[in-house]
Structure formats: structure tokens, C-alpha cells
A and B are shown apart, each in its own frame.
Chain A
Amino acid sequence: MQQEEQQNKEDKEELVKEEVVQDAQEEGRYIYCVVEKGNTSEFQEKGIENNSVYLLCDGDLCAVVHTCPAKPYVSPHKEQVIDWVKAHQKVIDQAYAVFGTVIPFSFDVIIKGSKGKHSEQLVKEWLRSKEEELKKKIERIKGKQEFGVKIFLHEQEVMKAIMQSNKEIQNLEDKIKIAKKGVAYFHKQKIQAIIKKEIEKYAELYFKEFYKKIKQAAEEVRVEKAKKQDTFIMVLNASVLVKKEHVSALGDMLDYIHKKQGFSVEFTGPWPPYSFTS
């Protein structure tokens, strides 16, 4: 019984191995994005590693692809990955310039032929099966662009403000002046804890204020995880979907925040709507 199971397992593994070998030799299609072609039928670009990029269409919906071996782009070198990512983005930028609206794909999405079907056919079948969903996505993003907004608070500035205004901290500092070493240490720890809590309070307050402001200029806002950066506190990290005609209003508003004492803003884009189509 055990032997039989073992044999089965080995057979299975053998099968998987064979498939992998076979797959590696097959052709695949690397997908950059999906567009609605409208009246345009020509699109020729050079993509990742100078591959020729072309359209694969089912009706009005087209996938922007290149032909490649059915294996992913993988490298242990960061620079190499960055080059690929930039080439990926460049093709999407071109598609955006030509077609106006694009549904961007993530890096390294490759379709391979399967069950006797050619990868081109599978891409087309997929476009057909998802037609309604894809068109809905296109409607959602038409005439809009994505931007990245990060708002930072300078840690020193906010700490200074807290130290000056917090009564509890002032009391503790008075105590420290006359306290013995051990007790002073204890008080200092307590001050640190209060500062930490106060900073969180400030950050949340500012988050709410800025979120509200950004929301006014944006169609959609997606809040991302705020990452800690040495001397700055990221109070808001967001991807925003903005109508083209509202971009300058958003810029003005961010400028106002950027010029506020103790704040700085990073404003990146325009990006294809990566955060609003997946």
C-alpha cells in the first residue's frame, strides 16, 4: 500500500517535471496592458529587451503583447529588474498616448499555450470572456490619471511642538531636574512614551485633514501603508485618481501643504491607473 502510494507520487512528480520542460520550450505572450482600439489599428513599439510589441484583439478590446519564451523574466540583479520595469512602463506610456485609456498589467504576466491551444488564442479568449468587466474598468478610468501623494511631517518639528505644549511632559521635566539618576531615567522613559503617543495623535489628525482636502480634487483615493522614513513621519500615503482638468487644483493644494512649516510633499505621476484597475 505504502509502496503503491510512493510509486504514484513518483509518477506525479515525473509528470510535473515533464510539463515544466515542455512549457519552457513553448512560446508565450507577455502582456503589458489592455486597450480599447477604437479607430486605431496600428501599434508598433519595442518593449522589454527590444521585443516587438503588437496588438492582440478580440473585437474592440486589445491586449498589448510581445512574443517570448514561456518563462518569466527573473534576475538577481536589481538594475536588471528596474530596466525591465522601465521598458514595461514605456510601452504602457506609448499605448496611453495612442489609445487614451489603458488598463495596466503588472510586471511579468505571461500567458503560455495550454491544452493544445496557442497562447495568442488564449489571450483572445480571455479578452472575450472578460469583455464586460474590462469595459467597466475602462469606463471607470477614462479621462483620469493616477498620482502618488505622500505627505511627510518633520519629526523634530512635531517633537518640539509637543515638548512645548504638553503639560505632563513639562511636569516630568521639572521632576527630572531634582530627581536621582534612576528616577530621572524612569521619567525620561515616560516622556518618550508620551511623545510617541502624541505623535500618533498628530499624525492621525493631519491624516484626516489632508485626506479631506485631497478627496475634494480627486475622483477616488486609495490610502496606502505609510512607511517610516528616518527623520520624517509619513502622515499620508495615497494613490489618487484625478480627472485631467483637476490635476492643477490638486497640485495647488499640495503646494499649500508643502509650504506649511514642518511639512513636505511628494507628488508623483501621472501614472497609468495601476491602483484603480486591479
Chain B
Amino acid sequence: MEPTRETEAGLVDLLDRVLEKGLIIHADVVITLAGVPLIGINLKAALANMETMLDYGMFESCTKQEFVTIEKEQKQKEVSVEQEKILVPT
């Protein structure tokens, strides 16, 4: 089986990654945080609310430069596979 990118599934996976993952910088020099309104939610729904949710001033108070991940707090359950404990988002 060969991996694909130019399919519907490929586009979904591309959007998942580019909009929700990847490195971001959390600092007072950042004016936008990885398309904030797009994080972790249905793209369509996000688009509708985008303008109201984007707030230039919202990172004003951050003064430290640091990496942050843009994962939202997620519910997880623990599944053991042999010795390994895996956290599975639910």
C-alpha cells in the first residue's frame, strides 16, 4: 500500500496538520497564533466565527518567548498494550 497526498483523505490530513499542529511561537512578537480560531474545531464552523475570534491584542500580556503546543485540553483514556500505556484522546 502506497501513502497518498492528493486524495480527499490527504487533504483532510493536510488541513489537520497545518492548521492544528506544527511549531508556533508564543511571544509578544506574535500577532497570530496559528490561526487561533481554527484550532481543534470543524474548519467550516471556525471560518464563520473567525473574524470575531481573532483578537490582535490577545497575546499582549505574553512576554516570554517559548514554545507552546496548540493542543487544547483533551479528554484521554489510558489503554495498555503489553507493557506500554498509551493515552488515547476520546
B46 to chain A, nearest CB (A): 9
Q: Known contacts A76-B48, A103-B23, A108-B34; is A122 also within 8 Å of B29 by CB? A: yes
Please tell me if the beta carbons of B3 and A109 are within 8 angstroms of each other in the complex.
no
Interface of chain B, main secondary structure: mixed
Please tell me if the beta carbons of B32 and A208 are within 8 angstroms of each other in the complex.
no
Q: Point out the residues of chain B lying under 8 angstroms from A278, CB to CB.
A: 21-24, 67, 69-70
Q: Is A247 an interface residue (CB 8 A)?
A: yes
Q: Roughly how many angstroms separate A19 CA and B88 CA in the complex, as a whole number?
A: 43
Is the interface on chain A under 10, 10 to 19, 20 to 34, or 35 or more residues?
A: 35 or more
Q: Point out the residues of chain A lying under 8 angstroms from B73, CB to CB.
A: none
Q: Known contacts A85-B15, A106-B34; is A150 also within 8 Å of B21 by CB? A: no
Q: Point out the residues of chain A lying under 8 angstroms from B74, CB to CB.
A: 225
Q: Which residue of A28, A146, A147, A212 is within 8 Å of B82 (Cβ)?
A: A212
CB nearest to B57 among chain A residues: A16
A139 to chain B, nearest CB (A): 15
Q: Is A275 an interface residue (CB 8 A)?
A: yes
CB nearest to A248 among chain B residues: B2
- Please report the total number of B residues contacting A with Cβ < 8 Å: 55
Q: Point out the residues of chain A lying under 8 angstroms from B54, CB to CB.
A: 72, 74
Please tell me if the beta carbons of B79 and A20 are within 8 angstroms of each other in the complex.
no
Report A222-261 CB contacts with B as 1/0, cut-off 8 Å.
0111100000000000000000000100011011001000
Please tell me if the beta carbons of B1 and A109 are within 8 angstroms of each other in the complex.
no
Please tell me if the beta carbons of A70 and B1 are within 8 angstroms of each other in the complex.
no
Q: Top 4 A-B pairs ranked by shortest CB distance?
A: A72-B32, A106-B34, A106-B22, A225-B89
Q: 29 A–B contact pairs at CB < 8 A?
A: A20-B57, A72-B54, A74-B35, A74-B50, A78-B47, A104-B23, A106-B18, A106-B20, A106-B22, A107-B19, A107-B38, A108-B32, A108-B35, A109-B24, A110-B31, A111-B25, A114-B28, A133-B67, A207-B88, A215-B81, A223-B89, A258-B1, A266-B9, A267-B4, A268-B7, A274-B21, A275-B21, A278-B23, A278-B67
